[in-house]
Amino acid sequence: MIEQWQQDVNNWIESGELLQATLSQLRRKDGEASPKTIVRPIELKNGLHYQFEYHFANKVTHENITEEQAAERLISLLEQHYRQALMKTTEADVQLLFNKKGKAAILTKPPTGGARKASLQHNRQKQRILEEGKAAPFLVELGIMTQDGLVHAKKQDKYRQINRFLEMVTDVLAYLPTDRELTIVDFGCGKSYLTFALYHLLAVEQQRKINIIGLDLKADVIAFCSKLADKLGYDKLQFLVGDIADYEELQEADMVVTLHACDTATDAALAKAVNWGASVIMSVPCCQHELFRQVGNDALSPIFSQGLLKERFAALATDAARGTLLEVLGYKVQMLEFVDPEHTPKNLLIRAVRSEQQKPSMKKWEQYEQFRQFLNISPSLEHMLAERWPNHSK
Neighbours of 132 (CB within 10 A): 15
pLDDT in tens, 165-191: 898 898 888 889 888 999 999 988 888
pLDDT in tens, 2-38: 688 888 898 899 888 898 999 999 988 766 788 999 9
pLDDT in tens, 112-161: 754 445 455 444 444 577 888 888 899 999 999 998 888 888 888 888 88
DSSP line for 211-226: EEEEEES-HHHHHHHH
CA–CA separation, 303 vs 310, rounded Å?
A: 6
CA–CA separation, 141 vs 167, rounded Å?
A: 22
Task: Please count the CA atoms within 13 angstroms of the CA of 235 that sit on its side-chain side.
Answer: 2
Average pLDDT over residues 326-337: 92
The edge-to-edge listing of strands for the beta sheet with 47-55 is 60-66, 47-55, 36-44, 18-26, 82-89, 93-98, 104-109
Banded model confidence at residue 392, pLDDT cuts 50, 70, 90: low
Domain 137-388: homologous superfamily in CATH: Vaccinia Virus protein VP39 (3.40.50.150)
pLDDT of 260: 74
pLDDT in tens, 256-315: 998 877 778 889 999 999 999 999 999 988 778 889 999 999 999 999 999 999 999 999
Average pLDDT over residues 206-224: 91
Q: Whole-model pTM?
A: 0.66
pLDDT in tens, 220-233: 999 999 999 999 99
Looking at the chain, the domain(s) classified CATH 3.40.50.150 span: 137-388
